[in-house]
Amino acid sequence: MMKFLGKRAVASAISLVGLMLLVFFLSRLSGDPTGLYLPLDASEESRNQFREIHGLNDPLIVQFFNYMGDLARLDFGDSIRRSEPAIDVVLRGFVWTLQLALITMSLVVTLAIVVGSLAAFHVGGVFDRIATFFSLIGASAPDFWIAIVAIVIFSVNLGWVPTSGTGSIWHWILPVSVLFIRPFGLVLQIVRGSMITALSSAYVKTARAKGIKNRSIIFVHALRNALLPVITVIGDQAAALLNGAVVIESIFGFPGVGKLMIDSILQRDFTVVMAAIMVTALAIFIMNLLIDILYSVLDPRIRY
């Protein structure tokens, strides 16, 4: 196991350096930050002084190696706009994104496993057809379109929930609901398919012949053996939530790391952009490692 984890760590570190290199140079294409933070009539001397303070006077390749050197000492630099450590700014936003992802994925996993298992048990029935229909719609519908329609209907026309912010539980309803739909549809389909296979296996038929209750057959005997492909999809969808909540957070004005990333790109706050990418990538790496470890717990036959 330790050898496997070591290989994964090395591979992830190489990928992370490549990602940081790409983001570093692409973010610089947004332009010179002096145009945003200094008056239009600022002298060239003032502009050079600003660039010198923030390490922007050197050639880009030199800036990158300087940044990676600071990063090796866990120095993420200071935010240009906020004049505070960039990592502090990112972690504040990441806490909001993590809460949003945890709440959403908790609902997705719980409901998808229950609904998918029941649909597989009653395969071909009315419940199965309804569950399959809505899972296909959920998996196919684009998040940004659902978010806009939800705001128009539930916030503007009906006035049931706020359009943005985080002041109360009502502010969370639309972001969580919109982010819930797509992963729920995808996980539900995988749970249903895996459970249909598990329920048709010999050990389940034996359990039925012994008179074991249906509830135990579904959620004890069949579910554990059906979980491996489900966990893979859950991991992918959780990573997608951390990675892809950018649009939803921007639409709902949610102060997560996704919205922070967009705002920082527009504000040319390069250190915050880089810190946000680093924290998000590390979170996804750790989550993937935990999923790999969980594989061996669910199925001891797996050896890394």
* Residue 301 confidence (pLDDT) above 70: no
Distances (CA, A) of 148 to 40, 156, 165: 37, 11, 15
296: which residues sit within 8 A by CB, 6+ positions away? Answer: 1, 302, 303, 304
pLDDT tens string 123-165: 888 888 998 888 888 888 888 888 889 899 998 888 888 887 7
Q: What is the pTM of this model?
A: 0.79
Distance, CA of 14 to CA of 32 (rounded, Å): 29
Q: Both tokens of residue 128?
A: 């199965």
CATH, domain range 86-298: 1.10.3720.10
pLDDT tens string 7-56: 777 877 788 888 888 888 887 777 777 777 777 777 778 888 878 777 77
> Domains of the chain: which residue ranges?
2-72, 86-298
Distance, CA of 236 to CA of 183 (rounded, Å): 9
- Quick one: which of 23, 20, 27 has its CA closest to 269? 27
The interaxial angle of helices 86-121 and 257-266, nearest 10 deg, is 130
* Residue 304 confidence (pLDDT) above 60: no
* Position 1 confidence tier, pLDDT thresholds 50, 70, 90: low
Q: Is 80:268 a contact under the CB 8 Å cutoff?
A: yes
Nearest 10 degrees: CA dihedral of 146, 183, 138, 152? -20
The maximal CA–CA distance of the chain, rounded, in angstroms, is 87
pLDDT of residue 299: 65
Comparing 127 with 288, the larger pLDDT belongs to: 127
Distance, CA of 254 to CA of 90 (rounded, Å): 14
Q: Both tokens of residue 166?
A: 């985080």
304: which residues sit within 8 A by CB, 6+ positions away? Answer: 1, 3, 4, 5, 292, 296
Q: Both tokens of residue 180?
A: 């819930």
Distance, CA of 260 to CA of 281 (rounded, Å): 15
Q: Both tokens of residue 76?
A: 């993420």
Q: Which amino acid is at 28?
A: R
Distance, CA of 217 to CA of 205 (rounded, Å): 9
Q: Both tokens of residue 282?
A: 């590390």
* Residue 193 confidence (pLDDT) above 80: yes
Q: What are phi and psi of 78, to 5 degrees?
A: -105, 145
pLDDT of residue 221: 66
pLDDT of residue 55: 75
Classify residue 111 as exposed, middle or buried by CB count within 10 Å of its CB (0-12, 13-18, 19+). Answer: middle
Region of 244 (left: φ > 0; alpha: ψ -120 to 50; beta: rest) is alpha
pLDDT of residue 107: 92
* Position 298 confidence tier, pLDDT thresholds 50, 70, 90: low
* Residue 302 confidence (pLDDT) above 70: no
pLDDT of residue 244: 63
pLDDT tens string 225-276: 777 778 888 888 887 777 767 778 888 888 888 888 888 888 888 888 888 8
pLDDT tens string 73-118: 888 888 888 878 889 889 988 888 888 888 998 999 899 988 988 8
CA angle 57, 60, 61 (to 5 degrees): 130
| Count of positions (residues) in the chain | 304
Distances (CA, A) of 249 to 17, 102, 107, 260: 27, 15, 19, 9
Radius of gyration of the chain measured on its C-alpha atoms = 24
